Amino acid sequence: MSILEALGFGGTGETPDPSGDTETVRRIVGELEALEPEKARFIAAFAYILGRVAHADQHISEAETREMEAIVRRLGHLPEDQAVLVVQIAKSQNRLFGHTENYLVTREFAEIATQEQRTELLDCLFAVSAADDSISGSEEAQIRQIASELGFSHREFVLARRHYSDHREVMKSFRKGVEE
């Protein structure tokens, strides 16, 4: 892949893959060509969805970025430089195409992931949003939307969220109001 293609300029001349891949996932997969294609698709979609939550409040903090990199490195069994690259591409793609790609990438992830992997992603979404010690209302709403797209019930969402209650802005505001 040329640098121009990596930046989104110029096509490869290839016909779009009819298998349902989104452009976002294909682009990240291209950076992970050394991996098995299925694993690369999984990591690409996983990283993009993490970025979706981090960007929900229109700002991705350094703490959120570091948490995303650590998660992608650990769960993807990637070297640090590859994990950093994957996260940077996922964040950029989310900023550029988030409104049109969010549902498509999440749907693709739901199709290729096991129930255990979807549950692990849900926990990681909360971990990324809590990385800066604050889960904003917009981040929580985005996680709820993703949970729904992944087929989780409201009860399953609440059970996953309970581990991160201390970081929720709505709870911090409530506790602050009670203390005053």
Q: What is the CATH number of domain 21-179?
A: 1.10.3680.10
Asked whether the whole model's pTM tops 0.85, one would answer: no
> Could you read off the pLDDT of 129-139 as tens digits, one per residue?
999 998 999 99
> Could you read off the pLDDT of 147-180 as tens digits, one per residue?
999 999 999 999 999 999 888 875 555 555 556 5
Of 166, 161, 130, give the one whose Cα is nearest residue 146: 161
CA distances to 41, 44, 84, 112, 139 from 105, in Å: 10, 9, 20, 11, 18
Where are the chain's structural domains?
A: 21-179
The angle, 0 to 180 degrees and rounded to 10, between the axes of the packed helices 115-130 and 154-161 is: 50
